[in-house]
Amino acid sequence: MDKTKINETLRRNVALLSKQSERELGMMPATVAPLPSVEMVKRIVTLVKSIIFPDYFEKRQPDEAIRAYHIGVWMEELTTLLTKQIAHGLQFCEDCEANSTKAQVYGIAEEKALAFIDALPEIKRLLYTDIQAMFDNDPAAPNFGEVIFCYPSMNTMTHYRIAHKLHELQVPVIPRIITEQAHSKTGIDIHPGATIGEYFAIDHGTGVVIGETAIIGNHVTLYQGVTLGAKSFKYDENGNMLNIPRHPILEDHVTVYSNASILGRITIGHDSVIGGNIWVTHSVPPYSRIQQSKAVDVAFQDGAGI
Amino acid sequence: MDKTKINETLRRNVALLSKQSERELGMMPATVAPLPSVEMVKRIVTLVKSIIFPDYFEKRQPDEAIRAYHIGVWMEELTTLLTKQIAHGLQFCEDCEANSTKAQVYGIAEEKALAFIDALPEIKRLLYTDIQAMFDNDPAAPNFGEVIFCYPSMNTMTHYRIAHKLHELQVPVIPRIITEQAHSKTGIDIHPGATIGEYFAIDHGTGVVIGETAIIGNHVTLYQGVTLGAKSFKYDENGNMLNIPRHPILEDHVTVYSNASILGRITIGHDSVIGGNIWVTHSVPPYSRIQQSKAVDVAFQDGAGI
Amino acid sequence: MDKTKINETLRRNVALLSKQSERELGMMPATVAPLPSVEMVKRIVTLVKSIIFPDYFEKRQPDEAIRAYHIGVWMEELTTLLTKQIAHGLQFCEDCEANSTKAQVYGIAEEKALAFIDALPEIKRLLYTDIQAMFDNDPAAPNFGEVIFCYPSMNTMTHYRIAHKLHELQVPVIPRIITEQAHSKTGIDIHPGATIGEYFAIDHGTGVVIGETAIIGNHVTLYQGVTLGAKSFKYDENGNMLNIPRHPILEDHVTVYSNASILGRITIGHDSVIGGNIWVTHSVPPYSRIQQSKAVDVAFQDGAGI
Amino acid sequence: MDKTKINETLRRNVALLSKQSERELGMMPATVAPLPSVEMVKRIVTLVKSIIFPDYFEKRQPDEAIRAYHIGVWMEELTTLLTKQIAHGLQFCEDCEANSTKAQVYGIAEEKALAFIDALPEIKRLLYTDIQAMFDNDPAAPNFGEVIFCYPSMNTMTHYRIAHKLHELQVPVIPRIITEQAHSKTGIDIHPGATIGEYFAIDHGTGVVIGETAIIGNHVTLYQGVTLGAKSFKYDENGNMLNIPRHPILEDHVTVYSNASILGRITIGHDSVIGGNIWVTHSVPPYSRIQQSKAVDVAFQDGAGI
Amino acid sequence: MDKTKINETLRRNVALLSKQSERELGMMPATVAPLPSVEMVKRIVTLVKSIIFPDYFEKRQPDEAIRAYHIGVWMEELTTLLTKQIAHGLQFCEDCEANSTKAQVYGIAEEKALAFIDALPEIKRLLYTDIQAMFDNDPAAPNFGEVIFCYPSMNTMTHYRIAHKLHELQVPVIPRIITEQAHSKTGIDIHPGATIGEYFAIDHGTGVVIGETAIIGNHVTLYQGVTLGAKSFKYDENGNMLNIPRHPILEDHVTVYSNASILGRITIGHDSVIGGNIWVTHSVPPYSRIQQSKAVDVAFQDGAGI
Amino acid sequence: MDKTKINETLRRNVALLSKQSERELGMMPATVAPLPSVEMVKRIVTLVKSIIFPDYFEKRQPDEAIRAYHIGVWMEELTTLLTKQIAHGLQFCEDCEANSTKAQVYGIAEEKALAFIDALPEIKRLLYTDIQAMFDNDPAAPNFGEVIFCYPSMNTMTHYRIAHKLHELQVPVIPRIITEQAHSKTGIDIHPGATIGEYFAIDHGTGVVIGETAIIGNHVTLYQGVTLGAKSFKYDENGNMLNIPRHPILEDHVTVYSNASILGRITIGHDSVIGGNIWVTHSVPPYSRIQQSKAVDVAFQDGAGI
């Protein structure tokens, strides 16, 4: 082909694509600083994993003092990167930054980053209760190593517990980037705003959805495909959806089997068991056992063409 | 262990594995040129993302002229890589290449690549309508940044809209590689042959399947686990499956809630709402509201052993 | 912010996080050698893919002797890496390593690695039957290339067949790391302990779960969301779950449509078809056709607020 | 060896090496900002080479508009990196930064960086005169490509002309890092402070030394091992060496053959030729021809043991 | 600083630097294909080193069959890269390419590449005689490993022997890129056109220059700083330098000590020894011993100011 | 070209090159373990530079505790790599390893590595005296930063002082690899066996050679091109060169100007100055001033053709 035509096509479309439409501009923060970097957020999560599971995701190191060197280096990198990404993320919070200079934004970001650093020991403690729960619940788990190395639920919970802390610290955008990275890897979609107690277990996990305002107690277990969702949306007088509590509350020691959907701001009482493949939209009292009325409602036929 | 035994094992199996079986050879194109490269196709999609969302996935750059330098460089790399991958992919199209020289194949590939370049501004426009739709539909979306950075549906739609254009240009194999990369990342499986209008939104998304011949209008919203599938397959007189229209048509302003399955070449009339977890195999008129007759058909029992 | 405060925060938390809790220590093998490396296991799978599909995932090379050089190099790297990772993994097998020196562990690992190398030609043969099956089952598959390059089921089966062989060789942890990598990429969760015959096909795949003790014959096809799961768990007198056969048996030529759940140690007789979205907990004889009694059990209403 | 002893050795020496001695501290700037990065300075030079010789060190691109995209991207990266490195380097200039805030330092750095950007077209012009001179002088040069690709003198002159401009702009430390990188690659040691005219050629080059205050006219040629050095040093009343003009002046059209040393603030008149292997410490008039009185002053002997 | 000013400066200089001056254009080949890549040429040399010294620069592999896999892979990459680089280099040979199509150029390049491949066993043999010579000549050489790993002369000779073969095959530009890479690493500057026999040794080496038409026999040894140069240049009637034999001939078993210069088309007879630091411009007969008449011609003084 | 011919050429030469000649085998250690890795030795030196000059070659870090984390991590990596490389190097020491198992070799290597770790604080102290000396000697040195960042002599001395310590610890091959890496970068060739006191300075440096048995006191300064070499070699009754003291001794406070050669086991008395470009083969007493009798012995002529 005539090289001239290729070059013309390139130049014409470069010109078109360099222009930002009204819509595109309207979607950007009013600031001019860089936006958060998905790659850097990924690195942040990797650093937290190294800090919390050094023997598994880095190199086994039995000596505490030597291990402290490594953890110290990761912690320093973490603090630097996190401060910067929080500062970039704060552009999406129009209120809080309204009259802020760049230095003020960094000051706020630094405080949030340090608060996160101070929360790491508790995040670590919680994650080790999750390991225990997942190991205890699964007859196919032959050892803790398999849980820590392989279980998509452990990967997801690590992302979620990091993201939830940042959400509590009112960091915009970053928490969701973090949970969506886990969603992408595991098919488990937990909103960073959800509240989840200790000893939490998910088995298999693909298709699990836990909404923004869900509240989950301790010792709760979910199986694949479980949705803790909203039943319907409320609107204000202008027709805008309202972001209010709309997802279920699961009290302690609840188990929900695969593909069950629990919808709306209802409460599943403690020590209840929800059977697979069902659709629950009303609260149930403690110690309930709920399942499909006819578990196998099938017709035997012969003949092709289903 | 005796090093000799290791080396013998290696050599013996290298010899076995270097031979290509009849079956293996039968699966290869009759040509000898290289096959497409999954890594290069990944790079192609990354380049398009950089071009369409430069401030998000590259570095924010408010000056149009400076931004044009970057977009120009990505566009040039894109054109080169795409031409090459299309040429490699064309080997899988036995008809079109039948009597072609290598130069002819490259000529065809170059034309298709330029047609794709010319389609980029429209692809960009469509994707920004999708962002708008996803933002408007989700009360948990606090800003556009979160949609662009995090939403698996945005990632999927970017892959799909690229792939669909290449599918229209009759490029073999590459479009499917592109949509399957999104499927892998997001659990949303859209066939490049499906037709999707503007302002399309998916929430959560894991488990969504949209078949090859599905047709979707404007302003349509789907939730996780929705299948737009085939109900049954037709065969020709030789028992080969026929690749004919077999997936549903969704008109404008249709909403389908989670885990619903819509199967077969049926039409869901405009402005209809399909409730969650149901199985639809017949057409429904405009403005329909369809849901399970008993949303919560469960039995309360106590006793263990579900 | 005062730099001193940052440094103090870092030091304080580094000290806390360097200490390993009782729980953390209790989860580690009693040994001091390194644990398996997820990255190295990933490399091992990549090498096997290069060896089995050299023209697709490496560079097309029609000459057998030249191809043998490449396969030889990959095989050597594979043997070395696999031996090392197996040795690291053996720490999780307390029995087998009880009284072993490091040299003995490596001897055992080397034997297992060589046995795996010797199994590669058969693994390759099986995978090419799977390609054939997936191509034959899918009207949307225009050529074999699309199946090999794109189908998540092919990616999953490659991981599974590698992992299953290592599982047979009683290698701990590594097989599950391998299947979970496929689970993460494809949303298809096959336990390495499951037994699967030749000509196995999965379409779409997201959400498929195949449990540890499932047994699947030849020429079986599954669709997305199918669960071959346990119905309930058995406990020993101490309340520990028992790891016994608890997943279904599918005989030859069985097809299971999307989102069906087949639960418990039941048998689906050969040449049966299980319809979509149903829940099967009892065995069915050969040539059965099972589907929902009312495929579309929906209520037409108008009015908002689903 | 006892692992404990290794860890003790590590900890003991880590503690010793983390402390900074008085001498070490005395060598650091009084500031706390990062110091220049040798790697980043290397990247800066690479970018200038790409900008000035795009067809040779990047990819040949005949279309001016497309080439401008690439040059634009390199120029932007160059401006950013250079500003930052200059700012870091300014810490070594105690006067100029004395009362400056970080923002002021960046303002100064930015101005110097832009002045450098504005000098690039002239630097490019000069370097192309050097290519011409080296080609014209060397019967072994079959084409310009060999000069641009291979000649250590071209590599050195590129580094020198960049460094000299930054030296003129009173940037500390960075210019010397740049010339020493060329010195390391080529064995040609030109101080960034030296002044060199256009059409400058060096052949072979290893061992050439050109001192800080040397002044070289146009159309000058040097061979390997030539030193343009100081003859002696002057001291102030405190015994500190004085940094005053102490290296030679070579007027236009001077040629100096291999291993000649020209020392002190003397002038070699225009159109002179200095023969190889000699030691010149006095000025010579224009059109001089200087060489060793006895070019081969050797004794013929037989017998071993030199 | 005003961001606008930065962007203006960038745009203005991008425009200036994107234009190619008459001089710049005059230096380019008249073709439009890519020029050789310095990085690829580096890779070519690395591959040859891996092939010739696999145990030293790659991984020790005692088994011949396994080693052949590695060598095979390197050889294939080498052939591909070399063919491509030769084709790019041929643009600098105006005669030979005058009326050639791209396919013809590749045909020629391929033939030269294969001729080079066929020369590799002899290049290997020669290099092992050089190792022997360097080991035998240096009392500081405790083993062959130190010679192969460390000696700059071995590195240089590897580059030279590769480059010389390509020079014999009339490949333009590439040979010189190869020898200049060694020159840069070692300070030893051997023109690819020079002819050098077997068992050649250089000690230390920095500053050695061996000109294009030099001829060196077998068992010759040089020390650092030795020049085998031209004494003067000849011009044709148009004032262009003539590229004719102008460098010395050293017969077998000649030794030249450090910093000696041997200049012009003279012959040093076999078994001669040339002492250090002297300047030889006339031929000498076999078995000569040449040294400075007064080896230490110095004046003892006291007093400062040398 | 016929692809078959290419493949044949490849196969034929792969077969030839995979065979190891008698000579090649005779040059290898009698062991089968891997040989040292040049890349790993490079990494070792980089780590030592990071440890000794953390603010310059890594990232400035004023806090001692945080800096200790980084130094700790580098020290751990250094210990591991060094132990392994020493063990590989020990294969070249036939005596010491004669009857050793692999475990014994590693034990010896570990001891040497720890002895090196214990020497690091002293190596650091010496290098900072060298910085001081180079700064004090050079009127062109405006600050310490320029010396540490840029001076080839500092780079060389870092390599030398590391290598010399390993040489003292009787580690084979590795020390020479380390000094040759500096030789390659700087053109300064110091044998690891040489003994050099504190406050040592070299200016410019290209072409400096310091032989294996040279001994240099404190506060010595050398300029470019200085050789401290052997005058002649001694042989044993079998004609093998003897490795005995054969290089000069320079006492404290000696200065040697550019291109001077000092040859043989002679002593330059303390506080002497050796002028440039001369050849010294006899000892001189303290406080000597030695220079060429006629510094500029040149003939003025006109006429071309030097």
* Residues C14-59 pLDDT 10s: 999 999 999 999 998 888 889 999 999 999 999 999 999 999 999 9
Same domain, F129 and F275: no
Contact D82, D177 (CB under 8 A): no
Spacing of C-alpha F48 from chain mean position: 15
Residue of F nearest to D8 (CA): F114
Give me the helices (H) in F169-237, please. Answer: 174-186
Same domain, D95 and D39: yes
pLDDT value of position C299: 42
Q: Do D207 and E206 touch (CB under 8 A)?
A: yes
Q: Give chain A positions within 8 Å (CB) of B105.
A: none
What's the CA gap between F86 and F80, in Å, rounded? 10
Q: Quick one: tokens of D73?
A: 């991207």
Q: Point out the least confidently predicted range of A90-104, D225-239, E49-63, E160-174.
A: A90-104
Give me the helices (H) in chain D, please. Answer: 3-18, 22-26, 38-52, 54-57, 64-89, 94-97, 102-137, 144-150, 152-168, 174-186
- Label residue F126 exposed, middle or buried (CB < 10 Å: 0-12, 13-18, 19+): middle
Q: Give chain D positions within 8 Å (CB) of A10.
A: 66
Residue in C10, C65, C69 closest to F66 by CB: C10
Contact B226, B260 (CB under 8 A): yes
Question: Which residues, listed in sequence order, are joined to residue B284 by a DSSP beta bridge?
Answer: B268
Residue in D66, D70, D72 closest to B66 by CB: D72
What's the CA gap between F69 and F50, in Å, rounded? 13
DSSP code per residue over F106-126: HHHHHHHHHHHHHHHHHHHHH
The reply to whether F259 falls in a domain is yes
Q: Do A72 and F72 touch (CB under 8 A)?
A: yes
Question: What's the rounded mean pLDDT across residues E257-261?
Answer: 92
Band of the pLDDT at A14, cuts 50, 70, 90?
very high
Residue in F120, F150, F298 closest to D292 by CB: F298
Residue of F nearest to E281 (CA): F306
Q: Give chain F positions within 8 Å (CB) of A47.
A: none
Q: Do E76 and C68 touch (CB under 8 A)?
A: no
pLDDT value of position B298: 42
Q: Which of D66, D70, D106 to mutate to test the interface with A (most CBs of A within 10 A)?
A: D66
Q: Which of A5, A7, A80, A106 to mutate to test the interface with D (most CBs of D within 10 A)?
A: A7
The helix, strand and coil proportions of chain F, stated in percent and rounded to the nearest 5, come to 50, 15, 40
Same domain, A228 and A272: yes
Q: Do B63 and E3 touch (CB under 8 A)?
A: yes
The reply to whether B6 falls in a domain is no
Say whether D202 sits in a helix, a strand or coil. strand
**E300 to each of E119, F216, F263, F284, F296, how far by Cα in Å?**
57, 22, 17, 9, 17
The reply to whether F300 falls in a domain is no
* Residues C121-179 pLDDT 10s: 999 999 999 999 999 988 888 899 999 999 999 999 999 999 999 999 999 999 999 99
pLDDT value of position B98: 53
What's the CA gap between D205 and E209, in Å, rounded? 10
Q: What is the mean pLDDT of chain F?
A: 90
Say whether C133 sits in a helix, a strand or coil. helix
Q: How many CB atoms lie within 10 A of CB F22?
A: 8
How far apart are the CA of D251 and the nearest CA of chain E, in angstroms? 23
Check residues C251 and D241 and name the one with the higher pLDDT.
Answer: C251
Complex ipTM > 0.95:
no
Q: Point out the least confidently predicted range of D292-301, E48-57, E134-143.
A: D292-301
Residue in F114, F142, F302 closest to D289 by CB: F302
Residue B18 has pLDDT above 70, yes or no: yes
> Could you tell me the residue range of the domain that residue F236 belongs to?
193-292
- Count helices and strands (H / E) in chain C: 10, 15
pLDDT value of position C303: 32
How far apart are the CA of A61 and the nearest CA of chain D, in angstroms? 11
Same domain, A33 and A149: yes
Q: Which of A31, A96, A289 to mutate to test the interface with B (most CBs of B within 10 A)?
A: A289
Closest CA to B256 of C152, C298, C260: C298
Q: Do E183 and D152 touch (CB under 8 A)?
A: yes
Q: Give the neighbours of chain A: at least 3 Cβ pairs within 8 Å.
A: B, C, D, F
Same domain, B44 and B133: yes
Q: What is the mean pLDDT of chain C?
A: 90
* Residues F157-196 pLDDT 10s: 999 999 999 999 999 999 999 999 999 999 999 999 999 9
How many domains, chain A?
Answer: 2
Q: Which of F66, F70, F76 to mutate to test the interface with A (most CBs of A within 10 A)?
A: F76
Q: Quick one: tokens of D233?
A: 């040093």
Q: Give chain D positions within 8 Å (CB) of E206.
A: 187, 206-207
Same domain, E197 and E222: yes
Q: Which of E186, E207, E240 is the last residue of a domain?
A: E186
Q: Which of A204, A221, A222, A231 to mutate to test the interface with C (most CBs of C within 10 A)?
A: A204
Question: Cα-flanking dihedrals φ and ψ of residue F25, to 5°?
Answer: -65, -35
Give me the helices (H) in chain E, please. Answer: 3-18, 22-27, 38-52, 54-57, 64-89, 94-97, 102-137, 144-150, 152-168, 174-186
Same domain, D243 and D267: yes
Residue of A nearest to C286 (CA): A302
The b-or-e profile of B60-83 (16+ CB within 10 A means b, else e) is bbebeebbbbbbbbbbbebbebbb
Q: Give the neighbours of chain D: at least 3 Cβ pairs within 8 Å.
A: A, B, E, F
Same domain, C159 and C93: yes
What's the CA gap between F243 and F234, in Å, rounded? 8
Tokens 């995979």 correspond to F18
Say whether E209 sits in a helix, a strand or coil. strand
Residue in C124, C204, C298 closest to B278 by CB: C298
The reply to whether C61 falls in a domain is yes
Q: Do D7 and A69 touch (CB under 8 A)?
A: no
Residue in A32, A287, A305 closest to B232 by CB: A305
**B-D contacts at Cβ under 8 angstroms:** 29
Check residues E237 and D262 and name the one with the higher pLDDT.
Answer: D262
Q: Give chain B positions within 8 Å (CB) of D70.
A: 69, 72-73
What's the CA gap between E28 and E11, in Å, rounded? 26
Question: What's the rounded mean pLDDT across residues D233-244?
Answer: 79
Q: Quick one: tokens of B34?
A: 């290289």
DSSP one-letter code for C217: -
What's the CA gap between B306 and A277, in Å, rounded? 12
How far apart are the CA of C82 and the nearest CA of chain E, in angstroms? 17
Q: Give chain F positions within 8 Å (CB) of A54.
A: none
Q: Do F65 and C3 touch (CB under 8 A)?
A: no
Q: What is the CATH number of the domain that holds B48?
A: 1.10.3130.10
What percent of chain E clears pLDDT 70, i.e. is strictly above it? Answer: 93
Same domain, D154 and D94: yes
Q: Quick one: tokens of E288?
A: 């000569």
Q: Do C10 and A72 touch (CB under 8 A)?
A: yes
Residue of C nearest to A304 (CA): C289
Residue in B207, B258, B299 closest to A293 by CB: B299
Band of the pLDDT at B35, cuts 50, 70, 90?
very high
Helices D3-18 and A64-89: crossing angle in degrees, nearest 10, is: 50
pLDDT value of position B263: 94
Contact B163, A193 (CB under 8 A): no
Calculate ∠ Cα F76-F78-F84, nearest 5°: 110
Residue E305 has pLDDT above 60, yes or no: no
The model's pTM is 0.93
Q: Which of D133, D160, D186 is the last residue of a domain?
A: D186
Q: Quick one: tokens of C49?
A: 């893919």
Q: Give chain F positions within 8 Å (CB) of A68.
A: 69, 72
The reply to whether D45 falls in a domain is yes
Contact C168, C123 (CB under 8 A): no
The reply to whether A47 falls in a domain is yes
Q: Give chain A positions within 8 Å (CB) of D66.
A: 7, 10-11
How far apart are the CA of A69 and the nearest CA of chain D, in angstroms? 10
The reply to whether F13 falls in a domain is no
Same domain, C225 and C245: yes
pLDDT value of position B140: 84
What's the CA gap between B232 and B229, in Å, rounded? 9
Same domain, D91 and D143: yes
Q: Do E79 and F24 touch (CB under 8 A)?
A: no
What's the CA gap between D10 and A154, in Å, rounded? 34
Closest CA to D273 of D260, D261, D287: D287
Q: Point out the least confidently predicted range of B12-26, C281-295, D76-90.
A: C281-295
Residue A30 has pLDDT above 90, yes or no: no
- Label residue A108 exposed, middle or buried (CB < 10 Å: 0-12, 13-18, 19+): buried
Q: Give chain E positions within 8 Å (CB) of F273.
A: 306
Q: Do C75 and B305 touch (CB under 8 A)?
A: no
Residue of D nearest to E26 (CA): D144
What's the CA gap between C185 and D48, in Å, rounded? 42
Q: Do A19 and B64 touch (CB under 8 A)?
A: yes
Residue of E nearest to F261 (CA): E277
Q: How many CB atoms lie within 10 A of CB C33?
A: 13
* Residues E276-301 pLDDT 10s: 888 899 999 999 999 865 444 444 44
Residue A250's identity, in one-letter code, is: L
How far apart are the CA of B153 and the nearest CA of chain C, in angstroms? 15
Q: Do E290 and D277 touch (CB under 8 A)?
A: no
Band of the pLDDT at B102, cuts 50, 70, 90?
confident
Q: Give chain A positions within 8 Å (CB) of D63.
A: 3, 7
Same domain, A79 and A156: yes
Q: Point out the least confidently predicted range of A29-33, C230-234, D44-48, D204-208.
A: C230-234
Calculate ∠ Cα D105-D109-D115, nearest 5°: 150
Q: How many CB atoms lie within 10 A of CB C64?
A: 13
Q: Do E206 and D206 touch (CB under 8 A)?
A: yes
Q: Do C125 and B21 touch (CB under 8 A)?
A: yes
Tens digit of pLDDT at every position of chain F (306 positions): 678 899 999 999 999 999 999 999 999 898 888 999 999 999 999 999 999 999 999 999 989 999 999 999 999 999 999 999 999 999 998 766 555 777 789 999 999 999 999 999 999 999 999 999 999 988 888 899 999 999 999 999 999 999 999 999 999 999 999 999 999 999 999 999 999 999 999 999 999 999 999 999 999 999 999 999 998 777 788 877 778 899 999 999 999 999 999 999 999 999 999 998 888 999 999 999 998 654 444 444 433 333
Q: Which of C166, C186, C206 is the last residue of a domain?
A: C186
Q: Quick one: tokens of B156?
A: 């999927």
Q: Give chain F positions within 8 Å (CB) of C5.
A: none
Residue B82 has pLDDT above 90, yes or no: yes
The b-or-e profile of C161-190 (16+ CB within 10 A means b, else e) is bbbbbbbbbebbbbbbbbbbbbbbbbbbbb
Q: Give chain B positions within 8 Å (CB) of C65.
A: 18
Q: Quick one: tokens of D240?
A: 């500190």
Residue C76 has pLDDT above 90, yes or no: yes
Tokens 């190792």 correspond to E131
Q: How many CB atoms lie within 10 A of CB D96?
A: 13
Q: Give chain B positions within 8 Å (CB) of E69.
A: 14
Residue D128's identity, in one-letter code, is: Y
Which strands, in side-by-side order, build the sheet including C221-223?
A298-301, C289-292, C273-274, C255-256, C221-223, C201-203
The reply to whether B15 falls in a domain is no
Q: What is the CATH number of the domain that holds D231?
A: 2.160.10.10
Residue E96 has pLDDT above 80, yes or no: no
